[in-house]
Amino acid sequence: MLSILQNVPLLQGFSEEQLEYMVQVGVKRSMPKGAFVFREGDPAEGMYVLLEGQTRYFSSDNQGKEFVFLIAEPGDAMGEISLLDDEPRGWSVQCEENCTFLMFSKQEFREALNREPQVKDVVILNLARMVRTLSTTMKNLALLDVYGRVRALFESMLETVDGQEMISQPLTQQAIADRVGSSREMIARILKELVFGGYIRLENKKIIIIQKLPERF
């Protein structure tokens, strides 16, 4: 567990003692795929450091349309904002895979924040990054069309595996739609055209990029 925490980018610079303390006060929890860590509007009781798995932060309207703000990876902190301002949760967080977390209560988090000045720096850095991510998301929503947003999403997820550019994470059409603020039908159309134009290939739920996606659709 200590070795996992040592690899958390946010906790770089923490001494072994500080990390050990975290392991002591934190409660390790596992949640299955599909479970909610918390829901929009819930009162906030704790914060979490994701150790394994993936979660998605999203908001939905009363017709069930969803928008995914971001996807958290191991090492990301979740839910600390509501502990700072005592407001209810501003979005829902759901496990995309089976996940394990280290959970800290509101009181522990607040104490650590006041006792260890480093913790405050880490939280500021984390929030500053979130501001950056959200403003990029906002910019894309306001200034790019759906195709432009799909392209930006693909570029942000691109990996090179065996010399081949691809998006190896399985993405359903609905998952893409929820991340770019569009409908499944629209995404289906865009993907079909990209396959037809020889830009991408769909293989075992992976999206293989054959050539650089065009600027415009």
Partner 1 sequence: MRSILAQTQLFCSLTDEELARVESLGILRNVAKGSILFYENDVVECMYVLLEGRLKLYSSNDSGREFVYHVAEPGISFGELALFCDERRSICAEAETDCVVMSIHKTDFMSLLLTTPELKDQMLNSAMKIIFSLTNMVRDFALKDVYGRIRVLFERLAQPTDEGLLIDEQMSQQDIADRVGASREMIAKIMRELVAGGYVETGRKRLMILKKLPEQF
Written as one string, the DSSP assignment of 28-49 is EEEE-TT-EEE-TTPPP-EEEE
**Positions in 118-137 near partner 1 (CB under 8 A):** 120-121, 123-125, 127-132, 134-137
Rounded Cα distance between 43 and 88, Å, is 5
Segment lying near partner 1 (by CB under 8 A), choices 6-14, 54-62, 159-167, 187-195: 54-62
Residues forming a β-bridge with 140: none
Find the binder of partner 1 among 4, 25, 84, 186 (CB under 8 A).
Answer: 84
Name the residue among 91, 82, 77 with its Cα closest to residue 14.
77
What element of type H or E holds 181? Answer: none
Tell me how far, at minimum, the Cβ of 198 lies from partner 1, in Å: 25
Which lies closer to partner 1 via its Cβ, residue 35 or residue 125? Answer: 125
Q: Determine if 152 is a binding residue for partner 1 (CB under 8 A).
A: no
**What residues form DSSP beta bridges with 55?**
72, 95
Interface residues toward partner 1, by CB under 8 A: 59-61, 65, 67, 69, 81, 84-85, 87, 90-91, 117, 120-121, 123-125, 127-132, 134-139, 141-144, 181
